[in-house]
Amino acid sequence: QREGASPIDDALIAVVVSAVRPGGDDALGPMRRHCHKHAGRIEAWREQGCRGPKIQKLLHRHTGVVVPLRTLQRFVAEELQRKGRGDTVRILDPPPGQILEIDFLELGFFVERGTGRRRKMHALLCCAANSRHQFVFPTLTQTQDDVIEALEAAWAFFGGVFPVVICDNPRAIITKADPIAPVINPSFLEYAQARDFVLDPARVRKPKDKARVERQVRYARDDFFRGEDFGSLEEARQAAAIWCHKDAGLRTHGTTRRQPRLAFEADELPLLKPVPSTPYDAPRWSTVHVGRDHAVVVDYALYSVPYAITDTDLRVRLD
């Protein structure tokens, strides 16, 4: 823009050409300058494993400025030499309301408020295979009780039960892995029957069998957990439910180009089985020996057995 009525001369043309030519020196905009000002913070968050969307939120939280995501990503790629990911091969999506993929992941360490103990936090990640709506349930271990508790919370979160659950082969669920006839832990098989879903274990070392939940593991760890300061497991669970509902649920998914929560509510929720109305009473299985007195002790209680049964082991179910 010229000031006054100054003539267009060679000097003015040179300035314009220098500003607009390809490869010319570009003046940094205010958002890019803001990224430069807080480059140290951004680099520290990257070292913690945070990615673009998470860094955007943390930067807004600490500085009060919302930097456009694309500007932040360009700054990271150009200034901090961040490597991009490879190409993704799209696989066919299953019908809506049919499949839930689950997988355990390690979130990282946290310092327990009150005790000062440094503990490792895990989580069961559940992903609706069609809409990509997901649920994260933090845990401290990866036991069968943790899986059942997480799935009970997932049914309440999703508003229904998926007919098919695809998992890997954790010892808490699968006794013997096999591509054709896997052996499911009897206690967990009883839970699956009680909640009326079919468990379909993936093949060993075949992550593409549950590619959708595998694809979300890094996103859940980076965008939900990295950079946060949780002081307890319950605090993390409350934050995870909010994050799944608002952040992960309302983002535009890179593959489907839809908001996962809205896609789930429109296409999958009406097709799910009803949410269980009563809490699940998890049974305990054990092995007891029948002696010559034809009796067994289960949970400090004495039970008689048929006279013909003696000097043998019995499987006992207690609920």
pLDDT in tens, 164-175: 999 999 988 999
DSSP string, 252-286: --TTT-S-HHHHIIIIIGGGSBPPPSS-----EEE
How far is 111 from 80, CA to CA, in rounded Å? 30
Q: How confident is the model at residue 75 (pLDDT cuts 50, 70, 90)?
A: confident
pLDDT score of 297 more than 50? yes
pLDDT score of 34 more than 70? yes
What pLDDT, on a 0 to 100 scale, did the predictor assign at position 1? 53
Which range among 8-17, 96-105, 178-187, 285-294 shows the weakest confidence by mean pLDDT? 8-17
pLDDT score of 5 more than 90? no
pTM of the model: 0.73
For 115-217, list the strands marked E by DSSP: 118-128, 134-139, 164-167, 174-176, 183-184, 198-201
Distances from the Cα of 157 to the Cα of 136, 238, 245, 280, 312, angstroms: 10, 12, 9, 16, 45
What pLDDT, on a 0 to 100 scale, did the predictor assign at position 3? 57
What pLDDT, on a 0 to 100 scale, did the predictor assign at position 23? 53
Mean local confidence (pLDDT), 223-234: 94
How far is 143 from 120, CA to CA, in rounded Å? 14
pLDDT score of 54 more than 80? yes
pLDDT score of 24 more than 70? no
Percent of the chain with pLDDT over 70: 90
Instruction: Report yes or no: 151 and 249 within 8 Å, Cβ to Cβ.
Output: no
Backbone phi and psi for residue 80, each to the nearest 5 degrees, phi listed first: -105, 5
Q: How confident is the model at residue 82 (pLDDT cuts 50, 70, 90)?
A: very low
pLDDT score of 27 more than 80? no
What pLDDT, on a 0 to 100 scale, did the predictor assign at position 51? 83
pLDDT score of 2 more than 70? no
What mean pLDDT value characterizes the chain?
A: 89
What pLDDT, on a 0 to 100 scale, did the predictor assign at position 88? 55
Name the token pair of 137. Answer: 């349930």
Mean local confidence (pLDDT), 117-126: 97
How far is 228 from 240, CA to CA, in rounded Å? 11
What pLDDT, on a 0 to 100 scale, did the predictor assign at position 28? 75
pLDDT score of 248 more than 80? yes
How far is 100 from 210, CA to CA, in rounded Å? 9
pLDDT score of 309 more than 70? yes
What pLDDT, on a 0 to 100 scale, did the predictor assign at position 276? 95
312-318 and 284-290 strand pairing: antiparallel
Mean local confidence (pLDDT), 225-232: 94
Secondary structure, 3-state, 48-97 = CCCCHHHHHHHHHHHHCCCCCHHHHHHHHHHHCCCCCCCCCCCCCCCCCC
Mean local confidence (pLDDT), 220-231: 93
Mean local confidence (pLDDT), 50-71: 90
Which range among 65-79, 171-185, 244-258, 269-283 shows the weakest confidence by mean pLDDT? 65-79
Q: How confident is the model at residue 21 (pLDDT cuts 50, 70, 90)?
A: low
pLDDT score of 22 more than 70? no
